[in-house]
């Protein structure tokens, strides 16, 4: 009976060690996902910021507030709203295919 109990305790210890390793590996993978997502976002922001600057005659002479005001006006225009909706709609159609 003692041998069975000792053997079961050893199995529990092995299972707990395996569980701990799996949980640790899960944390590592979650961290990697967050890191990749953050890198993707940073790349997207830099790329799109560069696109915006390419349309400003003197980007260094414009403040962040002024850029925000320009974008607010542009994105409140009906033709801009229609264009954005059309593009998003096309993207949804492409994703379902």
| pTM for this model (two decimals) | 0.67
8-24 pLDDT, tens digit per residue, is: 999 999 999 999 999 99
pLDDT 10s digit of each residue in the chain, 97 long?
889 999 999 999 999 999 999 999 999 999 999 999 999 999 999 999 999 999 999 999 999 999 999 999 999 999 999 999 999 999 988 878 7
Q: Which residues of 10-19 are buried (b: 16+ CB within 10 A; e: fewer)?
A: eeeeeeeeee
CA–CA gap between residue 54 and residue 44 (Å, rounded): 15
Domain ranges of the chain: 1-55, 59-97
């Amino acid at each position: 009976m003692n041998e069975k109990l000792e053997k079961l305790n050893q199995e529990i210890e092995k299972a707990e060690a395996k569980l701990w390793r799996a949980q640790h590996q899960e944390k590592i993978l979650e961290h990697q996902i967050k890191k990749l997502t953050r890198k993707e976002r940073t790349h997207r922001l830099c790329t799109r910021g560069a696109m915006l600057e390419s349309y400003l005659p003197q980007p260094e002479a414009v403040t962040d507030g002024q850029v925000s005001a320009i974008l607010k006006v542009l994105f409140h225009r009906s033709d801009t709203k229609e264009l954005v909706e059309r593009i998003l709609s096309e993207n949804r159609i492409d994703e379902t295919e």
